[in-house]
Structure 1
Amino acid sequence: MPTFSHGSVEIAYLDEGQGDPIILIHGFASSKDVNWAQTSWFTTLKSAGRRVIALDNRGHGQSAKLYDPAEYHTAKMASDVRALMAHLGIGRADVMGYSMGARITAFLALESPELTRSIVLGGLGIHLVEGVGLPESIADAMEAPSLADVTDAQGYAFRAFADKTKSDRRALAACIRGSRQEMTREQVGSIKTPTLVAIGTRDLVAGSPDRLVALMPNARSLPIPDRDHMIAVGDKVYKAGVLEFLAERP
């Protein structure tokens, strides 16, 4: 498993295939493997002639585990992506993030537009600018003595997922407390990068895709029929829509 150091933080990543690069940024409590490899995104994108790069966000997967919420500010996690691109000598790429990864992607496009040829925001709509999406109470679920002690439905789902993936729950608690930054409408409106907002029609976490698209000068939405926040990421409609979107920029 290749790794690199961004300051004192070791970041694990995968780099496979040949062609135009696309960088994948996973969601909260997930990993590059769970979010992208196990859902066949690597296979799909490589078959389309793409070089596919995915990192484990700090606190997740095989990357360094940090326990100070301040270390998980979304801008800091976006800087990990910037550092990975520099490490690999990539000056510009398509970038796709899901849920928390979509928030990181948006911050990257805001702060370093020259690096992003296009962006895909999966599982994140208007909650980029209002309501955040995942509640901080998920941190309490991560710190509960056992899954049986979690009474909140959303907290229960994420705690069960973290237990299944054998994640560092203390690091995840710090992450959810530190990474829930919103953008202003003005900031979102300044992102001129071509953008696809892909959200399941049963997603209760992301917020409205159409309200976010209305704020952005170069964005459109992709509804993923009958999928909620947890299962939309592997959907065939999502994959087909992303491939079509990417093909628009030769």
Structure 2
Amino acid sequence: MASADLEGLCFHINTKISAIKKTLQLRNIGQEPSLKSMLCKIGHEMVFLHDLLNKMEAEVQEQEKLKNLLKELQKSAERQQKEAQHLHENIPPHLLKRTQTCIAGLAAKCEEQTKVVEPKRAKKPTKESQPIKEAPLITAEEFKSVPAYMKGRLTCDQVNAVVQDMNKAVVAKYKIMHQPLKSMNAAVRNLYHRFLEEETKDTKGQFFVVEADIKEFTPLKVDKRFHSILNILRHCQRVREVRGSGLVRYAIC
């Protein structure tokens, strides 16, 4: 056992001496003028490779988030398809009976029903005929084209989070605008009248929100960061400003 311990100790000491020799040799090599420029180039290449790896990692993360978003859209489409298939396969029996009755020879009765229904359709408000417009998300390619002084430290995900919140505010506002006045409570009716007062000839047919709507319907803070993101959204043609009567309106492009 003593002999084995001594051999191990000798091996350890020899290993340390060898490592010290290699360190001294490398230090001497680094001090040679002919190799200093080579070591400097290697250092620059290492920095370049480090930056490149960081960019690649950021791009991979961006693509991963995009993939997850596409998966969610696919699941939503599949759910809607299943619902549509379920509705198609479960048509109420009384509707089928009416169809068979019309085919069997009661065409006159069907025409009378159609005449009764058509005037009612004409009385429906036209507000709901136009779908509520929402701003599409910023793509990774679009975000790359944004000038660096606009982006600062902002990321594409942070910008798209604001886009989604602004869309929520637009949808919430125009659902109220399309709502029958009689069905509104006092608070909603006040909002409705404010919305009407903010309309101008320049906003006719446009979907827009103001800062009060953003505060009302979203958790967003209307601060310096929010306005920096708005600059990016204007640059990417997601929103445009309509000013008038001391109010800034953010219209969906």
Quick check: TM above 0.5? no
Scaled to the shorter chain, the TM-score interval is: under 0.3
Richer in helix (by share): 2
What's the TM-score, normalizing by structure 1?
Answer: 0.21
Structure exhibiting the larger radius of gyration computed from Cα positions: 2
Higher relative contact order (CA 8 A, sep 6+): 1
**Structure with more of its chain in strand, by fraction:** 1
